[in-house]
Amino acid sequence: MTHTVDLAAETASPGTGTRTGRSWTTGQIVVVLVIGTAALMVSLTQALLVPVLSEIAVDLHAGGDGIAWVLTSTLLVGAVAVPAFGRLGDLFGTRRMLLVTIAALVAGSLICAVATNLTVMIIGRAVVGLAMAAVPLSISLIGVILPSKHAPAGIALISAMLGVGGALGLPLSGLIAQYADYHVLFWICVAGGVLTVPGILLLVREPARVAKGRMDLVGTVLLGGAMLALLLPLAQGGSWGWTDPWTIGLLAAAVVLLVVFVAVELRLASPLVDVRTTARPALLLTNVASLFVGFALFATLIGTASYVQAPAATGYGFGKSVLAGGLCMLPGGIAMLLLSPLSAKLRPRTALIVGSLIVAAGFGTRIVLTGSLWQVVLGATIAGAGTGIAYAAMPGLIIHAAPRSELAAANGLNSLFRSVGSSLASAIGGAILATQTIILAGHALPSLAGYRTLFAICAAAAVAAALLALFIPRHTATPDAALPQ
């Protein structure tokens, strides 16, 4: 006996009380909530630890370089896992791979929850990195199992969870840091992951698989190596030095590996990434725009909480607690959640343009308005609202342009571009804030000019995303697209 719900085929007979047409059925709503919760739990893990890293360092007797690997290990494993699980989802089942990634979230978080030394903590966070593929897998799953009239709204909600998780993670982490032990954060992730698994098993059907071929192991190794060579120096360049031979050598290796990867993929019948399909303007421009919006989102995270926590003597800070700094991000997270459905009511291309321009307006506000805390929150909220609309638009563009047999892989690649954008924001933002400083009580702190420079770059990145979206073809559906127009 199966309990899964066939959402695309779900109909109602007259007199049953179940609404059809453009109305959502109860089964559809429940499934979106279940998958959305899974995506939210995974996205939370990317922001939860930022406010408590110093506490973890003290507890585990770790130095600055060592504790950085708690975040870097997740980033590096996720960069390999996202495209790999996307292709595995196309070949062996998106729902099945989603369950595997949620299991990784539970296992990795459990390891971290009981960790008593830095090595075990890093291993646990590396396992959590496998779960980063859950969000693009969730987007692909929603896009296929929902009927076409509801798929855009479902996709918008799931995609917005990327930003919502980050915005909610900071205040939650600040709350735990102030009133409880940081291990509670890991137990929250364990509980959330465990609770979503029965819902997926019982309520979500496995879509029919249309992809053929086998897993491209050579392409996976090449792309994984290229991402490691790119993201590792971006994450560690601040401590290594940007002119260090390791930094330069790894960045050069990333370029070489990407060139080899493309050459190999063009020759394979069953590639990890169909380079010819990915090079289509609809997909290529969407992915590059995703990089720019991902840059802006991460800069919102690093440029808000630390900003309001800075001492008032800096001329811009408000001397607030970690919890207050996190709470300043909360309105932006709520705006992402509430406004992401707006993207479903617009054409994806239009939504990407509108969302990106709103992001630029938010950062413009941050540059000009600095005198009051509410002004900082206003700017961050505007940027968050635009991010929610823009993020929700991207999978809509992909699902109209990518072949059904490559949908999960295409969403995984798009998610990878967002991660690269976030890594660039961390590297560039960190470098700017480290070089443009003021001296206060013998300590170097980021200056207001440094933050304004970062915000200006973010605004420019958002405008660039909007300009790229102008060139995305209006009619992009392929004959075998997952969601024809």
Predicted confidence (pLDDT) at residue 65 exceeds the cutoff of 70:
no
3-state secondary structure 304-373: CHHHHHCCHHHCCCCCCCHHHHHHCCHHHHHHHHHHHHHHHHCCHHHHHHHHHHHHHHHHHHHHHCCCCH
Name the least confident of 2-11, 26-35, 294-303.
2-11
Percent of the chain scoring above 90 in pLDDT: 10
**Which residue would you say has higher pLDDT here, 7 or 418?**
418
Separation CA 182–CA 112 (nearest Å): 10
Separation CA 464–CA 7 (nearest Å): 38
Separation CA 89–CA 86 (nearest Å): 5
Q: Provide the pLDDT confidence category of residue 8 given band limits of 50, 70 and 90.
A: very low
pLDDT at position 481, please?
A: 52
Q: Provide the pLDDT confidence category of residue 148 given band limits of 50, 70 and 90.
A: confident
Beta bridge partners of 439: 444
Cβ neighbours around 285 below 10 Å, total? 22
Give the torsion through C-alpha atoms of 72, 73, 74, 79, to 10 deg. 90
Separation CA 177–CA 391 (nearest Å): 29
Separation CA 213–CA 204 (nearest Å): 25
Tokens at 388, concatenated: 């929610």
Q: Specify the pTM.
A: 0.78
Q: Provide the pLDDT confidence category of residue 20 given band limits of 50, 70 and 90.
A: very low
pLDDT at position 66, please?
A: 73
CA angle 37, 199, 208 (to 5 degrees): 100
Give per-residue burial for 100-118: e unless 16+ CB within 10 Å, then b: bbbbbbbbbbbbbbebeeb
Closest CA to 224 of 369, 76, 325, 409: 76
pLDDT at position 484, please?
A: 45
Q: Provide the pLDDT confidence category of residue 485 given band limits of 50, 70 and 90.
A: very low
Average pLDDT (312-331) is: 80
* Burial class of residue 400 (count of CB atoms within 10 Å of its CB; 0-12, 13-18, 19+): buried
Name the least confident of 154-158, 386-390, 458-462.
154-158
* Amino acid symbol at 389: I
Give the sign of the dihedral formed by CA 360, CA 366, CA 369, CA 374: positive
Mean residue pLDDT across the chain: 80
Predicted confidence (pLDDT) at residue 113 exceeds the cutoff of 80:
yes
Beta bridge partners of 437: 446
pLDDT at position 105, please?
A: 92
Separation CA 236–CA 72 (nearest Å): 8
User: Can you tell me which residue has the tokens 């893990």?
Assistant: 45
Q: Which of 9-18, 218-227, 310-319 has the highest mean pLDDT?
A: 218-227
Average pLDDT (87-99) is: 87
Provide the residue count of the chain: 485
Tokens at 308, concatenated: 């309001």
Predicted confidence (pLDDT) at residue 46 exceeds the cutoff of 50:
yes
Cβ atoms 192, 244 nearer than 8 A: no
Which residue pairs, CB below 8 angstroms and at least 24 apart, start in 435-442?
A: 438/314, 438/315, 440/311, 440/313, 440/314
pLDDT at position 463, please?
A: 93
Closest CA to 129 of 416, 461, 437: 416
Cβ atoms 320, 308 nearer than 8 A: yes
**Which residue would you say has higher pLDDT here, 239 or 110?**
110
Predicted confidence (pLDDT) at residue 9 exceeds the cutoff of 80:
no
pLDDT in tens, 410-422: 777 777 888 788 7
Name the least confident of 2-6, 27-31, 106-110, 162-166.
2-6
Beta bridge partners of 481: 403
Q: Which of 42-46, 185-189, 299-303, 436-440 has the highest mean pLDDT?
A: 185-189
Average pLDDT (444-467) is: 87
Closest CA to 53 of 234, 177, 215: 177
Give per-residue burial for 435-468: e unless 16+ CB within 10 Å, then b: ebebeeeeeebbbbebbbbbbebbbebbbbbbeb
Separation CA 401–CA 382 (nearest Å): 29
pLDDT in tens, 363-376: 899 888 877 888 88
Helix (H, G, I), strand (E, B) or coil at 60: helix
Give the torsion through C-alpha atoms of 156, 161, 167, 173, to 10 deg. 170
Predicted confidence (pLDDT) at residue 357 exceeds the cutoff of 80:
yes
pLDDT at position 39, please?
A: 84
Give per-residue burial for 382-393: e unless 16+ CB within 10 Å, then b: bbbbbbbbbbbb
Average pLDDT (340-352) is: 80
pLDDT at position 30, please?
A: 81
Closest CA to 258 of 236, 275, 276: 275
Cβ neighbours around 313 below 10 Å, total? 12
pLDDT at position 478, please?
A: 53
pLDDT in tens, 223-254: 888 888 887 887 777 777 778 888 899 889 98
Cβ neighbours around 26 below 10 Å, total? 11
Q: Which of 184-188, 391-395, 424-428 has the highest mean pLDDT?
A: 184-188
Cβ atoms 363, 307 nearer than 8 A: no
Give the count of alpha carbons within 13 A of 305, CB side only: 28
pLDDT at position 476, please?
A: 45
